[in-house]
Chain A
């Protein structure tokens, strides 16, 4: 409690009423401008809390929520893109590539759509991985033309959801007992020879016969592959499931069959077109 409030002679202000070792303190009031600004800020806060969401379980009288406010902005952006999207929806990928304006838009939109939908399996830059085809190289399982890419994206590969999905099956030569282990080893050695990496000449000769009987019908007599069946080229340097002998043996014994989803039902046809153009432009388009 203040013991003795005095009035200072010089300034006319009161002291706080306390004394410490002879020292006294002036009780200077807060500046009026500061005080009234402070009151104004309190009033502002009260008004704000009534208008906007500030308290739990109540959205304020304006009912404004940022999450809902953005819906309008997104709709506006979509409306702005609508004419170009309509053009992309109606055109074929070939027509899009031929028109510079549509192509520029398609490449930009395709990049975004790729990152959202495709990069999870095919990699951020389309580089693929073990079991996921690389889209940047010039090796295609089912064709690298615009039409082929469009078909693959729209209807998928070996997917149960879509009737138009392309599909093929590689027989399980090992698991179903169609070939012995020795035979599988020989044919693997022959496949290595197709890309110039074999070491055992005798094994290659034996494997050639096995290959001609069992594999050539799908993979071609030179191992050049067949895009109708999605049968990979065996005579190149690109290997989807690994190119070492053990990998080849594993594939022959118990083949892994890749599945790609069908996107035509999940994505706007314009987006499918954009993705087609984008994938085609990655560096291996035919």
Chain B
């Protein structure tokens, strides 16, 4: 296999070419450690803000309280698996409504597709938990061990006391953060103050310690050790983010029509790129954006800030590396073909750019799907009933003939009450004339309707008998329905069933 010929083959931190020797080419690319350098700029500031917001959300939300009355968890966001309830502020979901969770995930997926097709890999570069925690761990590393050059010297130097102290301290802080992260995860499933005290005093159950250790361990491993390997090899998103990007999506690119040919700042007839490798040194995945679009680029935009600061120092216009659409890049290439390097070329190239086409079939499709799913979910949620009744007719026997010749059917009626209101409801029957209803162990109200008590946040079960007197003409199957009325006489729930009798 010969060397791939590339005119501006850059020396990235991770070499992408094959070794010159043909004797033994390893098919396995050994990992090269990445030492991202600190960078200042607009993109970096935005990244810090988003990081702070995401972490604050993650750590603080389990502690938010929401009073729901006595005997009920008072945590605002709680997935109470033990009691089969999902609490989200004022919303309480029962297990049979788990499709709301599925809908929320589908919504999230479509939102991701929509954002990606418009603005590129914003998820990967700014909000993905892997990026956020790796960024945080890199910050800790930089704070304790120093910036890029200092860290490289530390790793390559002797493993003396200084080395061990710094490394141990870094890993200790990492483990602390990982512990807080694992703990916060558990807090979404168990009451936060309670489980915190339990974990700290050693009284938590085995399951809680297991999951705490699992998530803490994985945080430590993925953010402290695996880092960019997750994005490059493990995660499926990069692989099909490419399917969602097109020539009209904003991506991080190098404006090679402006930057080439590269040369020293003081040289004549060279492009704006001075081969300073600033963009390479700040990249958290260690790639060279000047090679073009690549899988490993998570679209974090730190190289934009790095190049901008260098361009600023050289007095050249910013934006050599920028968030740009590939369509504009091609347009600029065409407009500046054959031009000599210089300010006129830069002007011509930038003039050829157009506003990205945000409204196009792809984005409209994603937006449409997003709106549709959101509408369906909202509709389903608003129409959700907090009281429902199920009627199960006895099947053995289908009907009973009593001693006076009348025919009786028995039903098991279950009142599913998702509120904490325990007021009784009157049970009425919609059936032909002559059908009589009684409920076992239940008294009737003034109008002769059985008063069924509800169970707060539970299911109440009743046995109902419907009798048709002897001599009445009875079909083999008579449809009827039960209706529950509240104190004001309004129907709050109803269910239909049928009455079976002997063959006429």
Contacts and interface: CB of A to CB of B under 8 A. Distances in A.
A12 B23 contact: yes
Nearest to A129: B397
B234 interface: no
A137 B410 CA distance: 11
Contact of A237 (B22, B394, B396, B404): B404
B396 A138 contact: no
A127 B405 contact: no
Interface string B421-450: 000000000000000000010000000000
Interface in A231-253: 233, 236-238
Interface residues of B, number: 22
Given A238-B401, A238-B403, A283-B400, A136 B27 contact: no
A237 B402 contact: yes
A138 B402 contact: yes
A66 to B, nearest CB: 23
B400 A136 contact: yes
Interface in A252-286: 281, 283-284
A124 interface: yes
A47 to B, nearest CB: 24
A137 B23 CA distance: 94
Contacts of A283: 400, 408, 410, 463, 465
Interface residues of A, number: 20
Contacts of B27: 11
A237 B402 CA distance: 7
B504 to A, nearest CB: 16
Interface string A70-103: 0000000000000000000000000000000000
A284 to B, nearest CB: 8
A76 to B, nearest CB: 19
B313 to A, nearest CB: 46
A125 B395 CA distance: 8
B410 A124 contact: no
A134 interface: yes
Please give me the 3 A-B residue pairs with the lowest Cβ-Cβ distance, nearest first: A125-B396, A127-B397, A12-B24
Given A236-B405, A281-B463, 11 more contacts: A10-B22, A12-B25, A125-B394, A125-B397, A127-B397, A136-B397, A137-B401, A137-B402, A137-B403, A237-B404, A238-B403
Interface of A: 9-12, 123-125, 127, 134, 136-139, 233, 236-238, 281, 283-284
22 contacts: A11-B27, A12-B23, A12-B25, A123-B396, A125-B394, A125-B397, A127-B396, A127-B400, A134-B400, A137-B401, A137-B402, A137-B403, A138-B402, A138-B403, A139-B402, A139-B403, A233-B403, A236-B403, A236-B404, A237-B470, A238-B402, A283-B400
